Amino acid sequence: MFFVLFFSAEMSSQVRLMLLPNARCFFDDPVQVTVTGLRSKQLVTMKARSTDDKGVMFSSSATYRADGSGEIHLDRDPSLSGSYVGVEPMGLLWSMKADTLHKRLHEKNPLIPYVVKFSVHEEEEGSMLAEVINERFVIGDGVSRDQVKKGNIHGVLFTPPGRGPFPAVLDLSSSRSERRACLLANKGFVVLSITLYNDKPANLKEIHLDYLEEAVDFLKQHSKVGSEGIGVLSRSKGSDIALSLAAFVPGIKAVVWINGCNANVALPLSYKKRQILPPLLLNLTKLIPTQSGALNGKYVLDNPLAEENKDTLIPIERAKGHFLFVASEDDINWDSKAYMDDMVERLRRHGKENFESVSYPGAGHLLEPPYGPHCYSCSHITISKPVVWGGEARAHAAAEVHLWKKIQEFFRTHLSCDAAQIKAML
């Protein structure tokens, strides 16, 4: 089944724009875009547009030539010009750009689908020949979303339908975003989404690992959780916190570290009423202005390997769980690849083999679940100014598709539920 709208005009009564297998899908699902009813070899413009919950418009366009039968298939036919060129089945989605500079797709409510309008237009006159509305859902049927305010825990819990048991993941993010956690819950994980900065970052004096240990214990005790240990999904500042959880807190079985640092960044880290790691400091005078007005912050962090900073390095060799290290090679926020390489070397020096690593040439800092618009620059939560995140859109989009599958495989491998538990639940 598919949902299709087409406009009846003098030259377009037979033109149909279709999304297969369905125009209603999950945010992280690909769709097959097909146009039929065109003239043989007709040149047309394909467009996509959407508006986020802050009213920012995102759009893309690409020129295609129909085949001899008057059809276009985006998984077969190349774009000749526009927002991208070549065969890119989902190019109209990942190449969308905001209508104003330094904006990132903003969606606070995962219960509301992300709506994209696809359309096909006459190349010369620009008149619309057909349009279809794509509803891209973040939350699946039966997945529950519950606010959690217990002790020091302030987060959102996503639980799959059914009795379980399910593997459990703690999702750490710097700013409020539930999309990644919710999409992971659709795949059969209990996911608790925690925002590191409930207060303004400038007001924070330190981070307490005890608060996050509470979140870990909450997941361990949940009635639907069956994995022996907890997984942690993280990016950027959240990634060094994830490393510290693995090193100091029992029960962390699997950590996904995405474009983070190998040291404790910016704020002292405390645990059990004492400081366990001093902060690796930042020098904001090293921010470099770019032509677009966004700032390049790649060289703001002090060198964690310098002798005077070695106390800030996180002792990941203490961890009993497994690591998936992920680095983008065009990360402009900081040098994630260098930090990853150092951690790999550190673990090898200690005789550890509890890790795997992957790097993505051409990808930028903000790796997300796939098929959203690529964000090259936007406001940074800690300095309230636009910064460059990096990434070439095509390479970045391909990295997101590959990584999203890898994350799920990694967690399923290391957070598998005990067969005896499953039998007992049944």
How many helices (H) and strands (E) the chain has is answered by: 7, 26
| Cβ-based burial of 204 (10 A; exposed 0-12, middle 13-18, buried ≥19) | middle
Place of tokens 């890790």: 355
Which among 322, 365, 396, 414 is annotated as catalytic?
A: 365
- Asked if the peptide bond before residue 268 counts as cis, ω within 30 degrees of 0, the response is no
Residue 200 is predicted with a pLDDT of 62
Q: Which amino acid is at 243?
A: L
Tokens of 117: 């309008």
Low-confidence ranges of the chain (pLDDT < 50): 1-11, 419-426
Question: Does this model's pTM top 0.85?
Answer: yes
Residue 197 is predicted with a pLDDT of 76
Q: Is 236 a catalytic residue?
A: yes
- Architecture of the CATH domain 144-425: 3-Layer(aba) Sandwich (3.40)
Residue 9 is predicted with a pLDDT of 35
Tokens of 272: 């059990």
Q: Following CA atoms 390, 88, 44, 8 in sequence, which dihedral angle do they give, to the nearest 10 degrees?
A: -110
Residue 169 is predicted with a pLDDT of 98
Q: Which of 262, 243, 235, 239 is nearest to 366 (CA)?
A: 235
CB 137 within 8 A of CB 147: no
Place of tokens 């797709």: 105
- Asked if the peptide bond before residue 78 counts as cis, ω within 30 degrees of 0, the response is no
Helices (H), 40-102: 91-94
- Architecture of the CATH domain 5-137: Sandwich (2.60)
Which among 331, 374, 380, 414 is annotated as catalytic?
A: 331
Which among 236, 244, 328, 336 is annotated as catalytic?
A: 236
Residue 175 is predicted with a pLDDT of 76
> What does the domain layout of the chain look like in residue ranges?
5-137, 144-425
